């Protein structure tokens, strides 16, 4: 399914930017990923708790770069 793949790709983009240590790219990727993750809830593709877990973990990684 293309929608689930799109969500996973957005998540991977945030992870890659964090691993590279690029704070600006990580923040931009996170802002790009959140609406996609939220739209997957509305479409019934992922449960709201799973989406919240993804967003929380990604946000934690992005914030760790700022320190």
- pLDDT for 19 equals 95
Convert the pLDDT of each residue in 42-67 to its tens digit: 999 999 999 999 999 999 999 999 77
Residue numbers of the domain that contains 59: 2-66
Reported as type and span, the H/E element at residue 40 is helix 23-42
Answer yes or no: is pLDDT of 34 > 70. Answer: yes
Give the chain's domain count.
1
- pLDDT for 66 equals 77
CATH number at residue 43: 1.20.58.110
**Residue 55 carries which DSSP code?**
H
C-alpha distances in angstroms, 15 versus 22, 28, 39, 42, 44? 10, 12, 20, 24, 24
């Amino acid at each position: 399914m293309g929608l689930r793949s799109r969500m996973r790709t957005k998540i991977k983009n945030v992870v890659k930017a964090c691993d590279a240590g690029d704070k600006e790219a990580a923040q931009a990727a996170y802002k790009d990923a959140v609406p996609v993750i939220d739209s997957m809830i509305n479409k019934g593709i992922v449960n709201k708790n799973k989406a919240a877990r993804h967003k929380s973990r990604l946000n934690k990684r992005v914030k760790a770069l700022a320190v």
